[in-house]
Amino acid sequence: MSLGSQIAWDDTILPFQLDASDVRGRVVRLDGVLDNVLAQHNYPQAIEDLVAEATLLTAMIGQTIKLRWKLSLQVRGDGPARLIATDYYAPAHDGEPARIRAYASFDEDRLDPSGPGFEQIGRGYFAILIDQGEGTTPYSGLTPVAGSSLSDCAQTYFAQSEQLPTRFILSFQKAQDQWRAGGVMLQQMPKASPLMKDGPTGDEGLLAAEDMFSDGAELENWSRANILLDTVKEDEMIGPAVQPTEMLVRLFHEERPRVFDPQAVEFGCTCSAERVVESMSIYSVKDIAHMTTDDGIVTADCQFCGAHYEFDPSTLGKDASGGEN
């Protein structure tokens, strides 16, 4: 396999459909993107793992939103890992790359550096937010943090909020100072509302995938696709030696896989000096004075990309924008 074909699949999301199973899905590979996301901060490994997993999930979920929309994933908990936040910006036009960014907030004093990242979230919620642009009301849906991974939380979210059986398998690793990451998402094609005979069977009384099938044939198709997915190998997901299309044929050749146009994705942040000024327009002169350093400036740092901004206090706040003090 040539170096060119390896690179061609880096930082892409490949939608596909299994025609024999009535199941759709996505294959994601994030390499340079994850490098850029995690290079902005010196996270402990437990936090790096959470951010890597959240970034992969966001890429696969975000690929379905419309042009110019924004999808955000947020995980908040009462444990040392307080917040994992990601944003996926859909392309402005067809053929352009999507952009993704992510960061984490954590309490280093309480963090167990040797413990699994997910256990350090504690009790909290997993949320998906979709911003359709100016003049619209953002959509938000959330479910409790449950299961043993962020992937479990995402599966529960789709079961609870969308009533769609969904499965994620992810893999990521850092070798020679370079991240390679990939994953596969399966999702039952949308149908009428499911018929649940015996109530939810998931963790904490939440819906599980098996609760959402109205007949045995649908459940059999879903189970067969998942059994095949269970045979996926880590090097198939993260590459670069195996192309995503080759992996899909190896896993699902009897399910008649059909692929669609891949979506390129890159690291990207939307912060700017103008946005900081706008966000500070809600503060009074007194508020701005409290933010002013001994050197007579107001500073702001972007949590996502690490950009540092400095401002003259007289240019900030309500007074500067024409409002009242």
pTM attached to this predicted model: 0.84
Q: Give the residue-averaged pLDDT of 296-315.
A: 80
Parent domain of 89: 3-267
Q: Alpha helix (H) ranges present in the chain?
A: 3-9, 32-39, 45-62, 150-157, 216-229, 234-238, 244-252, 273-279, 285-291, 317-320
CATH of the domain at 284: 3.90.1280
Q: Give the residue-averaged pLDDT of 284-293.
A: 84
325: in domain: no
| Structural domain count of the chain | 2
- 3 state DSSP class of 15: strand
The pLDDT tens digits for 40-73 are 889 999 999 999 999 999 999 999 999 999 999 9
Peptide bond into 313 cis (omega under 30): no
In sequence order, the 6+-apart residues with CB closer than 8 A to the CB of 23 are 17, 186, 187, 188, 189, 221, 222, 225, 255
Q: Is residue 291 located within the same domain as residue 243? A: no
98: in domain: yes
**In this structure, are residues 146 and 208 in contact, taking their beta carbons and an 8 Å threshold?**
no
pLDDT at position 27 is 97
